[in-house]
Structure 1
Amino acid sequence: MSQMATMDTTQVIPKTNGVNKDLKQRVVNKLKVFRSKKTGGWYSAFLCLVNQGLVTLSFFGVGVNLVLFLTRVLGQDNATAANNVSQWTGTVYLCSLLGAFISDSYWGRFLTCAIFQLILLMGLVLISLTSWLFLIKPYGCGDGILDCIPPSPIGTALFYLAIYLVALGYGGHQPTIATFGSDQFDEENPKEKISRAAYFGYFYFALNAGSLISNTILVYYEDGGKWTLGFWASTAAGLLGLFVFLVGTPGYRYVKSFGNPLPRVAQVFVAAFRKWGVPNVDEGELYELNGSESSIKGTRKILHSNDFKKLDKAAIVTEEDRQRPVINPWRLCTITQVEEAKCIIRMCPIWLCTIMYSVIFTQMASLFVEQGAVMDATIGKFRLPAASMSAFDICSVLTCTFLYRFMVVPLAGKISGNPRGLTELQRMGVGLIIGMLSMVAAGVTEIFRLRRVIPGHETSSLSIFWQIPQYMLVGASEVFMYVGQLEFFNGQAPDGIKSLGSSLCMASMSLGNYVSSLLVNMVMHITTRGARHGWIPENLNNGHIDRFYFLLFGLALVDLVAFVFFAKWYKGINLEDSTKGGGEKESQVLEKV
């Protein structure tokens, strides 16, 4: 990073009496433009997007067919394989919290991205070697026709070590690269702020572009028994992704880590509890550092808000505090520190409301596939794998991303006056509604499928292409919900926990998997009473997964009501720099659903 990018531009102007203030300002502006051209911008962000696409390709090259590998190569039954995949998937998303925490607290975003990509690459190399040397015996086995020799204990152990290295590497990389890419745009620059919002849309586009290749090309080879070739292709994509990421090293904008946020938040609650009986004071009497420097080094100050007033007690200066020679952070906190804790509390209800959408999204990888497996999937003599229908979801995401960016945003911007089109909360609400419609489409498809069941067979004569609407609707909902989440949690998180904000999206997916499993177990426990088959039996022709889809619609409707309530209640973060120079506060810009 160039020296000009890090120096204070005001220091290079001599303090000479009589110098015209306008001339000074022009010099400062030119230096700022020069600085922005030197580092960051769309070139650096583009490298992050390419990296995201390649890393996603490498990850899904392992994950998309993992359940088939477990059953065909390792010889596991369907239930065991499904549980193992669910646990592995949950681990991936939980690792995102670990990566975000390390990034914000200790390593910084660039180093965190690089290290977790190396871990991912180690896992990919190990799974490629393990499958080649220990598991794919004889060659070409695991294609659904030729059985593999039962794996050795060492081969199985190395395989599990490999896939969990992949989970750790990919999970830790995802939220960090999302935040690091957004760091390439200056939030205080109006033009770059718009570009930063657009970046998150392209980020999700890149993710799905990589996923599309995995779900089509790599799936084809792996399904045909060429597992090792598919894994080595994933390894090559991961290596290329790391190379692309490192190429941009000289031109990136870097944000330093801000220290462990957990003690900072804990100090607020402890200090507030200690002063629980202290009378409230006016806002102007609360403790804050003088000048522009924040108590959290490298971050902007957060202005005081009027909610959660009990926490304000942590910033009340008592006589005991004045008598202490050194400030005890467990007794006295700054306004910025208190507001950081408030921001976390305010985001929690919004985040909890996104979990129900993740439950809907999860059905695409489970019930949608099971439903498609008992439909007519033949095209001439070719039988379309049910899992490959997810390509319609990905195509929907890619299409809707561009439609939203180049059609919806300009149109909505003219109507609302917001250059970003819909606000983050509005987009999340729209995404939830579209996700609900996908459950209706899936339920209706199942009703028609049951009506056309072939007697004596487990399949229906209804074409699998009837599933296209439900996949397309899920894809469209992702563009609004997940991109909106990335922007919202990243934008509303204080400077010291930006990556943690981005990781909340993946944490929502993780809990969505677990809640979905819980709902399935509860539904089956209730609907199988009295020797009934239940809604989701082994033979779907004896069940009613349409009712399960409609149940999810009903639960999502309740969730939508709660989301609208909390969205209207939510108050945006107010950063000190955002109000200088006549700028609007974040809470004024952030419209409600």
Structure 2
Amino acid sequence: MYTVVPFLPTEEEEPLPGVSDFRGRPVCHANSGGWRSAFFVVAVEVASTFASYGVSANLIMYMTGPLGHSNAAAAAAMNVWSGTGSLMPLLGAFVADSWLGRYRSIILGCTLYVLGYGMITLTSMLPSLPGDNVDFSSRPLSLKVALFYTSLYTLAFAHGANSPCGLAFAADQFDPDHPKECTARGSLFNWWYFSIAIGIAVAIATVSYTQENFGWAIGFGVPCAIMICAFTVFLLGTPTYRLGVPIPGAKSPFVRLARSLAIVLATKRHHQELQEVDEDAKTSEEAQGVLRLLPIWAACLAYGVVFAQIMTLFNKQSRTLDRRVFGAGMELPPAALQTFGPVAILVFVPIYDRVLVPALRSATGNPSGLTLLQRVGTGMAVSLAAMCVAALVEARRLETAREHGLVDDASATVPMSWAWMVPQYVMIGVADVFAVVGMQEFFYDQMPDELRSLGLALFSGVMGIGSFISGALIYLIDGVSSSDGGDSWFADNLNRAHLDYFYWLLAGLSAAELALYLYLARSYVYNHKTLR
């Protein structure tokens, strides 16, 4: 008889191809990667999300309060900043995939985060001057306002370096050719957003309350401290990470992509037969795959426009409502209502992953229940419904203000419960589980392997361009609606404004783009990396 000794492998495990540890040494499944490494990355991403929402969720109140901006100016400025931050990942992905690598890009992003949050905390400590309380677009900026915007755009650059690499780097910790790790990577996208939602919910619930009750300096300082701790945790995980090994003499993936795009476009223009070596044929196929993604990407932009309203106009709308809870003992900060979005995500992700997916799998025969594009389209439909609900709620709020003679009292609390706002926040949260997670996985999965940071940056670009579109619409409509001396749709006195008209406009825009999306999605052919 032979005695089997447990836990002692009969032969040494083969090293994983194409990856190494931080010192360039080969690694294997047992001593690197997997959930063990992904948890370190998740920690820093949850913290960066906590810090980002801790600052941005209530930022419009700071801008219309201590900085003295008008509603329209503050909303437009926030949209421009948010849009810039969401577009920076395109630059960050280029730098990461071409030179720095994802690991070093995350380190750069964390460093800039700490600097930016430190600067905005310092800004909030500076005394307000008479020059601060003006519309920033009409006069030279004061030192406080200039430092404030410098800190904001430092955070935008930080987001650009970190955002496209965090999820991609976490996914890199799983071997797609290993059955168990491949399955785990599929779940990563759902549970990644679940973890991010925890950071959002906690940030909105706690930091906004701190800002409202203990001051802006403490409210901005907390995210800075959290980010420093998370950066330290990420660095502690360094010995476990799987890092991509650069191929000697290999061209930058962006250079190869640009060259192949030129070949593809030239071939289509001249209707010539392409005869190239195998490498050129492969890169040309990749280029065509990227080109096929762009129409889908453009058809998702309306979702980004809707998403931009959560921290701006929804927040100002909440300020006017009766926000008392437990009788008259406690009043919710306006930004605290945003918590219902991530709470909806926390509740719905397990339901989707454990209940809906198995049920849909039985009905459709698809291992994921829905295809990635079907998942995104479902989210877009829910966001369209959310804007219709938001328009109806705002119309009800304006009617209540008129019934109680509060139209001319900008500071009055409309006798209407904050609970009326809950459905639109919850619907946006549910839409995110479908659309945001679907877009992240779709653009990651359908990009060439070496450009997956760019794929996640494309998702971020949906939010960025959406914010710019929102800002442009607000600026244009504000000028047109007030040009004849009447009240703007975004008047500082929201009881004389018409946010409901704006929400109906966004609902119409969402409906038109959803129709375009469905038309494009029907003809999309997935590449070989996925069966979904």
For the superposition of Structure 1 and Structure 2, which TM-score range results when normalised by the shorter chain?
A: 0.7 to 0.9
Asked if 1 retains the 8 angstrom alpha-carbon contact of 2:197 and 2:345, the reply is yes
Q: Structure 2 CA distance, aligned partners of 1:241 and 1:419?
A: 35
In the TM superposition, 1:543-558 aligns within 5 A as 543-558=497-512
Alignment-derived partner of residue 375 in structure 2:
427
Give the drift of 1:338.
0.6
CA contact (8 A) 2:80 2:471 kept: no
Deviation readout 1:215-238 (Å, 9 max, x if unpaired): 111111222243222333212211
Partner of 1:185: 174
2:396 counterpart residue number: 448
CA drift of 1:439 comes to: 1.1
**Displacement of 1:193:** 2.6
Correspondence list, 1:560-575, <5 A: 560-574=514-528
> Aligned with 1:37: secondary structure?
coil
Query: What are the superposed Cα offsets for residues 64-119 of structure 1, whole Å, 9 maximum, x if unpaired?
Result: 33333344444445444444333322221122112211111111111111121112
The match for 1:171 is: 160
Q: 1-side partners of 2:195 and 2:302: how far apart?
A: 25
Match of 1:412 in 2: 360
Letter in 1 for 2:339: A
* 1:194 maps to 2:183: yes
Whether contact under 8 Å (2:444, 2:455) holds in the other structure is yes
Counterpart secondary structure, 2:390: helix
1:48 aligned onto 2:41: yes
Change (3 A) 1:278 1:342: closer
The one-letter code matched in structure 2 to 1:463 is S
Deviation digits for residues 504-531 of structure 1 (CA, Å, limit 9, x no counterpart): 1111111111111223344445555765
Pick 1 or 2: higher relative contact order, CA cutoff 8 A, min separation 6: 2
Determine if the alignment matches structure 1 residue 116 to structure 2 residue 109. yes
What SS does structure 2 have at the residue aligned with 1:462?
A: strand
RMSD value, Cα: 3.0
Q: In the alignment, is the contact (CA less than 8 A) between 1:52 and 1:203 conserved in 2? A: no
Partner of 1:579: none
Residues 1:372 and 2:287 aligned together: no
Which residues of 2 match residues 451-462 of structure 1 at below 5 A? 451-453=399-401, 454-456=404-406, 457-458=409-410, 459-462=413-416
Change (3 A) 1:7 1:104: closer
1:200-279 pair list within 5 angstroms: 200-256=189-245, 260-271=252-263, 277=270, 279=272
Distance 1:213 1:569 in 2: 41
Deviation of residue 369 (structure 1)?
A: 2.1
Cα distance, 1:269–1:435 mapped onto 2, change above 3 Å:
closer
Q: CA offsets per residue over residues 12-49 of structure 1, 9 Å max, x none?
A: xxxxxxxxxxxxxxxxxxxx9x9323221111112221
Q: Which residue of 1 aligns with 2:22?
A: none
> How many Å separate the matches in 1 of 2:459 and 2:253?
19
**Taking structure 1 as reference, are residues 559 and 278 closer, same or farther at Cα in structure 2, changes over 3 Å only?**
closer
Q: Tell me if the contact between 1:439 and 1:550 (Cα under 8 Å) persists in the aligned partners.
A: yes
Q: 1:421 to 1:523 in 2, by over 3 A?
A: same
2:433 pairs with 1:479: yes
User: Percent identity between the aligned chains?
Assistant: 31
Alignment of 1:28-107 (within 5 A): 35-107=28-100
CA distance 1:278–1:365, shift in 2 (3 Å)? closer
SS of 2:528 mapped into structure 1 = coil
Report the counterpart of residue 488 of structure 1 in structure 2: 442
1:58 partner SS: helix
What SS does structure 1 have at the residue aligned with 2:322?
coil
Range that drifts further, 535-544 or 34-43: 535-544
Q: Distance in 1 between matches of 2:232 and 2:495?
A: 50
Residue range with higher mean Cα deviation, 229-238 or 372-381:
372-381
**d(CA) in 2 for partners of 1:183, 1:558:** 37
Aligned residues of 1:194 and 1:419 also touching (Cα < 8 A): no
**Among residues 15, 33, 36, which one is paired with 1:5 in the alignment?**
15
Structure 2: give runs of 5+ residues left out of the alignment.
1-11, 20-25, 134-140
Unmatched runs of 5 consecutive residues or more in structure 1: 10-31, 145-151, 290-294, 296-333, 576-585
Larger Rg: 1
Distance 2:421 2:111 in 1: 38
Per-residue CA deviation, residues 39-65 of structure 1 (Å, 9 max, x unaligned), is 211111122212211121122333233
Alignment of 1:292-441 (within 5 A): 295=279, 334-379=280-325, 380-381=327-328, 382-441=330-389
Distance apart, 1:425 and its partner CA: 0.7
Aligned to 1:501: 455
> Are 2:113 and 1:127 aligned?
no
Distance between the aligned counterparts of 2:420 and 2:63, measured in 1? 29
In the TM superposition, residue 472 of structure 1 has moved relative to its aligned partner by 0.4
1:268 counterpart letter in structure 2: S
Which of 527-536 and 466-475 deviates more? 527-536
Q: CA offset at residue 153 of structure 1?
A: 5.4
Tell me if the contact between 2:446 and 2:527 (Cα under 8 Å) persists in the aligned partners: yes
* TM-score, normalised by the number of residues in structure 1: 0.76
Contact 1:95 1:167 in 2 (8 A): yes
- Take 2:144 and 2:127, find their aligned partners in 1: how far apart are those partners? 6
In the alignment, which residue of structure 2 is the partner of 1:13?
none
Output the amino acid matched with 2:381. Answer: I
Output the amino acid matched with 1:219: S
**Residue 68 to residue 479, structure 1, CA distance change in 2 (3 Å):** same
Q: Is the 8 A contact 1:357 1:435 kept in 2?
A: yes
Q: Match of 1:337, as an amino acid?
A: T
Q: Which residue type is aligned with residue 265 of structure 1?
A: L
Cα offset for 1:263?
2.9
Residues 4 and 163 of structure 1: CA distance in aligned 2, closer, same or farther (over 3 Å) = farther
Q: Please tell me whether the aligned partners of residues 5 and 38 of structure 1 are also in contact (alpha carbons under 8 angstroms).
A: no
Tell me, in whole angstroms, the C-alpha distance in 2 between the residues paired with 1:243 and 1:8: 27
Measure, in 2, the Cα distance between the counterparts of 1:541 and 1:371. 10
SS at match of 1:185: coil
SS at match of 1:461: strand
Task: Provide the rounded CA distance (Å) in 1 between the counterparts of 2:334 and 2:39.
Answer: 34
